[in-house]
Amino acid sequence: MKKTYRIGQIVPSSNVTMETEIPALLRSRETIAPERFTFHSSRMRMKKVTKEELEAMDAMSLKCAQELSDAQVDVMGYACLVAIMSMGRGYHCVSETNLHDETVQNGYPTPIVTSAGALINGLKVLGAKKVAVITPYMKPLTEMVVDYIQHQGFEVVDYIALEIPDNLEVAAQNPMNLLDIYKRLNLEGADVLVVSACVQMPSLEAIDAIEREIGIPVTSAAVCTTYEMLKKLGLDTKVPIGGALLSGKY
Protein backbone atom coordinates (compact mmCIF):
# COMPACT_ATOMS: atom_id res chain seq x y z
CA MET A 1 0.00 0.00 0.00
CA LYS A 2 1.09 3.57 -0.68
CA LYS A 3 1.92 5.48 2.49
CA THR A 4 -0.13 8.61 3.12
CA TYR A 5 1.37 11.54 5.02
CA ARG A 6 -0.66 14.19 6.81
CA ILE A 7 0.64 17.70 6.10
CA GLY A 8 -0.31 20.22 8.79
CA GLN A 9 -0.22 23.95 8.13
CA ILE A 10 -0.38 26.80 10.63
CA VAL A 11 -1.91 29.49 8.45
CA PRO A 12 -2.82 33.19 8.79
CA SER A 13 -6.59 33.47 8.61
CA SER A 14 -6.41 35.51 5.40
CA ASN A 15 -3.84 33.26 3.69
CA VAL A 16 -5.24 31.29 0.76
CA THR A 17 -2.04 30.50 -1.15
CA MET A 18 -0.20 28.00 1.03
CA GLU A 19 -3.20 25.70 0.87
CA THR A 20 -2.96 25.78 -2.93
CA GLU A 21 0.78 25.95 -3.73
CA ILE A 22 2.07 23.30 -1.31
CA PRO A 23 -0.66 20.83 -2.34
CA ALA A 24 0.08 21.63 -6.01
CA LEU A 25 3.76 20.80 -5.52
CA LEU A 26 3.06 17.60 -3.64
CA ARG A 27 0.29 16.51 -6.03
CA SER A 28 2.79 16.92 -8.84
CA ARG A 29 5.20 14.75 -6.89
CA GLU A 30 2.52 12.08 -6.53
CA THR A 31 2.56 11.55 -10.30
CA ILE A 32 6.11 10.17 -10.16
CA ALA A 33 6.57 9.01 -6.54
CA PRO A 34 4.63 6.47 -4.45
CA GLU A 35 3.72 8.59 -1.42
CA ARG A 36 0.38 10.34 -1.00
CA PHE A 37 -0.49 13.45 1.03
CA THR A 38 -3.49 14.93 2.81
CA PHE A 39 -3.62 18.54 4.02
CA HIS A 40 -4.87 19.95 7.31
CA SER A 41 -4.84 23.55 8.55
CA SER A 42 -5.30 25.59 11.69
CA ARG A 43 -5.65 29.36 11.43
CA MET A 44 -4.32 32.46 13.23
CA ARG A 45 -6.18 35.77 12.84
CA MET A 46 -4.47 38.29 10.54
CA LYS A 47 -5.83 40.58 7.81
CA LYS A 48 -3.31 43.41 7.39
CA VAL A 49 0.39 42.70 7.01
CA THR A 50 1.64 45.04 9.73
CA LYS A 51 4.16 44.36 12.46
CA GLU A 52 1.48 44.75 15.12
CA GLU A 53 -0.92 42.26 13.53
CA LEU A 54 1.92 39.84 12.79
CA GLU A 55 3.09 39.88 16.40
CA ALA A 56 -0.44 39.28 17.71
CA MET A 57 -0.91 36.50 15.18
CA ASP A 58 2.33 34.75 16.12
CA ALA A 59 1.10 34.44 19.70
CA MET A 60 -1.73 32.23 18.41
CA SER A 61 0.63 29.75 16.74
CA LEU A 62 1.02 27.56 19.83
CA LYS A 63 -2.73 26.90 19.97
CA CYS A 64 -2.62 25.95 16.28
CA ALA A 65 0.21 23.49 16.96
CA GLN A 66 -1.90 21.86 19.67
CA GLU A 67 -4.87 21.51 17.31
CA LEU A 68 -2.82 19.99 14.51
CA SER A 69 -1.13 17.69 16.99
CA ASP A 70 -4.60 16.41 17.93
CA ALA A 71 -4.92 15.36 14.27
CA GLN A 72 -1.56 13.58 14.52
CA VAL A 73 -0.14 15.20 11.40
CA ASP A 74 3.27 13.96 10.25
CA VAL A 75 4.83 17.42 9.79
CA MET A 76 3.72 20.98 10.53
CA GLY A 77 4.52 24.06 8.49
CA TYR A 78 4.21 27.59 9.88
CA ALA A 79 2.95 29.41 6.80
CA CYS A 80 3.99 33.03 7.31
CA LEU A 81 7.56 34.04 6.57
CA VAL A 82 7.31 37.71 7.53
CA ALA A 83 5.63 36.97 10.87
CA ILE A 84 8.74 35.05 11.90
CA MET A 85 11.29 37.42 10.39
CA SER A 86 9.64 40.50 11.90
CA MET A 87 10.06 39.01 15.39
CA GLY A 88 13.82 39.39 15.35
CA ARG A 89 16.95 37.81 13.92
CA GLY A 90 17.05 34.03 14.15
CA TYR A 91 13.51 33.80 15.51
CA HIS A 92 12.68 30.82 13.30
CA CYS A 93 14.80 28.66 15.62
CA VAL A 94 12.85 29.90 18.65
CA SER A 95 9.50 29.39 16.95
CA GLU A 96 10.33 25.88 15.73
CA THR A 97 11.43 24.87 19.23
CA ASN A 98 8.34 26.33 20.89
CA LEU A 99 5.95 24.71 18.42
CA HIS A 100 7.67 21.35 18.71
CA ASP A 101 7.47 21.56 22.50
CA GLU A 102 3.70 22.00 22.21
CA THR A 103 3.43 18.77 20.23
CA VAL A 104 5.61 16.94 22.74
CA GLN A 105 3.41 18.12 25.61
CA ASN A 106 0.37 16.99 23.63
CA GLY A 107 1.78 13.48 23.37
CA TYR A 108 2.49 13.46 19.62
CA PRO A 109 5.97 14.90 18.85
CA THR A 110 5.89 16.39 15.37
CA PRO A 111 8.61 17.83 13.10
CA ILE A 112 8.19 21.59 12.57
CA VAL A 113 8.99 23.69 9.51
CA THR A 114 8.73 27.46 9.39
CA SER A 115 8.68 29.08 5.97
CA ALA A 116 11.30 31.53 7.24
CA GLY A 117 13.66 28.77 8.32
CA ALA A 118 12.88 26.80 5.17
CA LEU A 119 13.91 29.72 2.95
CA ILE A 120 17.21 30.08 4.80
CA ASN A 121 17.88 26.33 4.57
CA GLY A 122 16.86 26.30 0.90
CA LEU A 123 19.33 29.04 0.05
CA LYS A 124 22.05 27.00 1.77
CA VAL A 125 21.09 23.92 -0.27
CA LEU A 126 21.39 25.97 -3.43
CA GLY A 127 24.84 27.17 -2.35
CA ALA A 128 23.71 30.80 -2.46
CA LYS A 129 26.01 33.59 -1.40
CA LYS A 130 24.38 36.59 -3.06
CA VAL A 131 20.61 36.73 -3.58
CA ALA A 132 17.95 39.03 -4.95
CA VAL A 133 14.51 39.11 -3.36
CA ILE A 134 10.95 40.09 -4.29
CA THR A 135 8.37 40.64 -1.54
CA PRO A 136 4.80 42.00 -1.50
CA TYR A 137 5.37 43.70 1.88
CA MET A 138 5.58 47.35 2.79
CA LYS A 139 9.14 48.64 2.63
CA PRO A 140 9.84 48.66 6.41
CA LEU A 141 8.81 44.98 6.69
CA THR A 142 10.78 44.14 3.56
CA GLU A 143 13.85 45.75 5.10
CA MET A 144 13.38 43.47 8.14
CA VAL A 145 13.26 40.46 5.81
CA VAL A 146 16.41 41.63 4.02
CA ASP A 147 18.20 42.16 7.35
CA TYR A 148 17.09 38.73 8.55
CA ILE A 149 18.42 37.00 5.42
CA GLN A 150 21.70 38.92 5.58
CA HIS A 151 22.12 38.06 9.27
CA GLN A 152 21.93 34.39 8.21
CA GLY A 153 25.05 34.87 6.07
CA PHE A 154 23.77 35.89 2.65
CA GLU A 155 24.25 39.16 0.80
CA VAL A 156 21.06 40.65 -0.63
CA VAL A 157 22.26 42.44 -3.76
CA ASP A 158 18.86 43.97 -4.55
CA TYR A 159 15.21 43.71 -3.54
CA ILE A 160 11.75 44.85 -4.56
CA ALA A 161 8.98 45.68 -2.08
CA LEU A 162 5.59 45.73 -3.83
CA GLU A 163 4.07 47.46 -0.77
CA ILE A 164 0.72 45.67 -0.60
CA PRO A 165 -0.62 45.84 2.98
CA ASP A 166 -3.83 43.84 2.50
CA ASN A 167 -3.13 40.11 2.72
CA LEU A 168 -5.96 39.05 0.41
CA GLU A 169 -4.73 41.52 -2.19
CA VAL A 170 -1.32 39.85 -1.95
CA ALA A 171 -2.94 36.51 -2.77
CA ALA A 172 -4.78 38.06 -5.73
CA GLN A 173 -1.56 38.96 -7.55
CA ASN A 174 -1.06 37.35 -10.95
CA PRO A 175 2.11 35.22 -10.63
CA MET A 176 2.94 35.82 -14.30
CA ASN A 177 3.41 39.53 -13.51
CA LEU A 178 6.65 38.44 -11.85
CA LEU A 179 8.07 37.92 -15.35
CA ASP A 180 8.09 41.71 -15.69
CA ILE A 181 8.61 42.64 -12.04
CA TYR A 182 11.91 40.77 -11.69
CA LYS A 183 13.40 42.84 -14.54
CA ARG A 184 13.43 45.85 -12.21
CA LEU A 185 16.06 44.07 -10.10
CA ASN A 186 19.79 44.47 -10.51
CA LEU A 187 20.81 40.82 -10.68
CA GLU A 188 24.52 41.46 -11.23
CA GLY A 189 26.41 39.10 -8.93
CA ALA A 190 23.28 37.31 -7.70
CA ASP A 191 23.44 33.52 -7.72
CA VAL A 192 19.82 32.89 -6.62
CA LEU A 193 16.59 34.83 -7.14
CA VAL A 194 13.88 34.50 -4.49
CA VAL A 195 10.93 35.38 -6.68
CA SER A 196 8.49 35.40 -3.74
CA ALA A 197 9.79 35.74 -0.19
CA CYS A 198 6.18 35.36 0.92
CA VAL A 199 4.04 32.24 1.10
CA GLN A 200 0.91 34.28 0.31
CA MET A 201 2.13 35.80 -2.97
CA PRO A 202 1.63 33.25 -5.79
CA SER A 203 4.68 32.47 -7.91
CA LEU A 204 4.74 28.79 -8.94
CA GLU A 205 3.66 29.33 -12.54
CA ALA A 206 6.45 31.88 -13.10
CA ILE A 207 9.43 30.16 -11.49
CA ASP A 208 10.60 27.94 -14.35
CA ALA A 209 10.02 30.63 -16.98
CA ILE A 210 12.10 33.19 -15.06
CA GLU A 211 14.81 30.62 -14.42
CA ARG A 212 15.10 29.94 -18.16
CA GLU A 213 15.45 33.66 -18.81
CA ILE A 214 18.11 34.48 -16.22
CA GLY A 215 20.08 31.24 -16.02
CA ILE A 216 20.41 31.10 -12.23
CA PRO A 217 18.31 29.17 -9.68
CA VAL A 218 14.92 30.71 -8.93
CA THR A 219 12.99 29.68 -5.85
CA SER A 220 10.27 30.85 -3.47
CA ALA A 221 9.26 30.53 0.16
CA ALA A 222 6.60 27.98 -0.82
CA VAL A 223 9.03 25.83 -2.80
CA CYS A 224 11.56 25.90 0.06
CA THR A 225 8.86 25.04 2.60
CA THR A 226 7.77 22.02 0.55
CA TYR A 227 11.38 20.89 0.22
CA GLU A 228 11.92 21.18 3.96
CA MET A 229 8.73 19.24 4.70
CA LEU A 230 9.93 16.39 2.48
CA LYS A 231 13.25 16.39 4.34
CA LYS A 232 11.51 16.27 7.72
CA LEU A 233 9.44 13.33 6.49
CA GLY A 234 12.61 11.52 5.40
CA LEU A 235 11.51 11.46 1.75
CA ASP A 236 13.57 11.80 -1.43
CA THR A 237 14.04 15.51 -2.10
CA LYS A 238 15.65 14.95 -5.50
CA VAL A 239 12.41 13.90 -7.15
CA PRO A 240 11.57 16.65 -9.69
CA ILE A 241 8.31 18.32 -8.71
CA GLY A 242 8.83 21.85 -10.02
CA GLY A 243 11.17 24.65 -9.07
CA ALA A 244 14.96 24.52 -9.12
CA LEU A 245 15.31 23.62 -5.47
CA LEU A 246 13.16 20.54 -5.78
CA SER A 247 14.41 19.34 -9.16
CA GLY A 248 17.96 18.45 -8.11
CA LYS A 249 19.23 20.59 -11.01
CA TYR A 250 21.65 22.53 -8.82
Residues of the binding site for substrate: 15, 80-82, 137, 167, 199-200
Strand partners, 135: 161
Tell me, yes or no, if 80 is annotated catalytic.
yes
Closest residue by Cα to residue 9 from 67, 71, 76, 73: 76
**Cα angle 205, 174, 242; round to 5:** 15
One of 64, 93, 198, 224 is an active-site residue; which one?
198
CB of 184 within 8 A of CB of 158? no
CB of 34 within 8 A of CB of 3? yes
Q: Which residues are annotated as a binding site?
A: 15, 80-82, 137, 167, 199-200
CB of 83 within 8 A of CB of 57? yes
As a whole number of angstroms, the distance between CA 216 and CA 112 comes to: 29
Determine whether 52 is exposed, middle or buried from the number of CB atoms within 10 Å of its CB (0-12, 13-18, 19+). exposed
Catalytic residues, which ones? 80, 198
